[in-house]
Amino acid sequence: MPATPEDLFEKLDALGITYETHHHAPVFTVEEAQEHTGDIPGGHCKNLFLKDKTGDLYLVVCLQETAVDLKAFRKLVGAKNLSFGKPDLLYETLGVEPGSVTPFSLINDAERKVSVVLEKRMMEHEFLNYHPLRNTMTTQLAARDLEKFIRHCGHEVRLLELPERDG
């Protein structure tokens, strides 16, 4: 059974991580998120769940305005033919539905199947905002605490300057 937002908040509390959660209507796109959460301070982020043809999985976490060039990213990390992971694989691996992808979902990746890539520019923000496993809430925490959480989940953190698409 995947972790619930309440399980996540208990884990954050146990780690001594300070956070603030805001409730809002469900959001599925960056545009919808901006409409409901644009007044929350800090970096607003998006998450890409990717799979390559060898079965390697990636969670790319970046600022919502970053237009990631997947072809260049593939070369940067040495992946083969990247595509977005299917909803079934997303739920099986990270325990969330499309629209709720978040670095907090690493709490569900006990087998550590997912490689985590964080955008360097995103990590320069003091505070960052992510869904706490459901797209009806946004949780804010300090960037340093995001890294602490991810490492506690047993994942290495790769900080990269993500290649962006032109235009």
State pLDDT tens for residues 89-144: 999 999 999 989 999 999 999 999 999 999 999 999 999 999 999 999 999 999 99
Residue 167: pLDDT over 70: no
What pLDDT is attached to residue 112? 97
Architecture of the domain spanning 5-160: Alpha-Beta Complex (3.90)
Question: Residues with Cβ < 8 Å from 80, sequence gap 6 or more?
Answer: 52, 53, 54, 74
Give domain limits for the chain.
Answer: 5-160
In three-state secondary structure terms, 141 is strand
Residue 28 pLDDT class (50, 70, 90 cuts): confident
